[in-house]
Amino acid sequence: MKFSIQREDFLKPLQQVIGVVERRQTLPVLGNVLINATKKQVKLTATDLEVELQAQVTLPVTEPGDITMPARKLLDICRTLPEEARLDISVNKDRALVRSGKSRFTLSTLPATEFPVVDKIKSAKRITLPQNRLHELIERTAFSMAQQDVRYYLNGLMLEPAGGILRAVATDGHRLAMCEIEADTGDSSGEQVIVPRKGVQELHRLLEDTDEPVQIEIGSNHIRIITSELRFTSKLIDGRFPDYTRVIPKNADKQLLVNRDLLRQALTRTSILSNEKYRGIRLDVSENNIKIQAHNPEQEEAVEEIDATYSEEGLVVGFNVTYILEVLNALDSHDVAVSLSDANSSALINQPGMEDCRYVVMPMRL
């Protein structure tokens, strides 16, 4: 294998795939990147056996071939070379040679045959939507995923295509985020799949703010997202996602309307004196007013008051302030609507008059 490439053209695909390369591997080959060079294209593939990333760059190749090279060492070499440097990469037996100007690096390799790759997804359901819309869908829901929960099916993001809509739902048992966007779902309807946490985070990192179409392929065990530059493949979590419709409050009849930025700033300041472990804050809602209070074991107290639109009977309810702040950060509207019923019931938060994104936060006893 032999080819020559501009530093920047090689660095970008390397950076795109490097996120799945673990620093400690069960198999030595998982620390490597698979380089597949054909006459007119070079593909770079990395995997941790759960998530696979493949990026490609078009260029004339002197000698086609396949090999795996140490991923992070190769990335560090490219990073530290001067801008617009030219790289000449060649392979001789079990060694790879990287030349650039007066710099020369000899790297160990492993055969491409040892590298585990995911084959074509069989009988895949296909969904098409703009790349920036998928990025937005993940951004508005992924923060509610569980982390290392024994209920393994919560450690990921549930995707559900249904009749021209792609719905994403995440929950850790204490809060829930649900958003939906229009998408060309084809014949994919009502089949729920759960993408693991690491795959969701990598996908969020890689998707760009462009309306270029992206294709989602859903198989029985894998999901694949394909853009013009990237191919992302992830195993699916084998489990049944809980019935999220039962969690959404149906009888939250007390409607509160408040400026999102004012509420976020007040909560941020109040949280400074909340209990560092439980992060609890108390909302005392009365006519056109919200009093926000926080206490901690050192007997310190924070109190904030802000104006709001509210005409129901007074209500006092406690929440984890982090959960509320993450919801407010996910929304981009001027105001937010908060639906409440009593001190022991969950709050429903959304943009006023819009049902495409809904957030549920369970109360805390303070």
Domain ranges of the chain: 2-114, 125-245, 248-361
* Cα–Cα dist 25/19, whole Å: 14
Instruction: Provide the pLDDT for residue 307.
Output: 98
Query: Which residue numbers in the chain have pLDDT < 50?
Result: none
What is the Cα 173 distance to its own chain's centre? Answer: 18
Count of other CB atoms within 10 angstroms of residue 228: 10
Q: Rounded to 5 degrees, what are φ and ψ at 286?
A: -135, -175
pTM: 0.93
Does the structural domain 2-114 have CATH classification 3.10.150.10?
yes
Instruction: Provide the pLDDT for residue 25.
Output: 85
Q: What is the DSSP letter of 298?
A: T
Q: Please enumerate in sequence order all residues whose Cβ is within 8 A of that of 257, keeping only pairs 6 or more positions apart, or say none.
A: 308, 309, 310, 335, 336, 337, 338, 352
Strands of the 2-6 sheet, one edge to the other: 2-6, 86-92, 95-100, 103-108
Torsion sign across C-alpha atoms 343, 344, 349, 353: negative
Tokens of 127: 């969904």
Instruction: Provide the pLDDT for residue 187.
Output: 73
Locate tokens 């639109």: which residue?
Answer: 309
Q: Rounded to 5 degrees, what are φ and ψ at 52?
A: -125, 135
Instruction: Provide the pLDDT for residue 120.
Output: 83
Three-state SS at 189: coil
Integer CA distances (angstroms), 164 to 213, 222, 353, 354, in order: 15, 21, 21, 18
Tokens of 150: 């024994």
Does the structural domain 248-361 have CATH classification 3.40.50.300?
no
* CATH number belonging to the domain at 125-245, selected among 3.30.460.80, 3.10.150.10, 3.40.50.80, 3.40.50.1370: 3.10.150.10
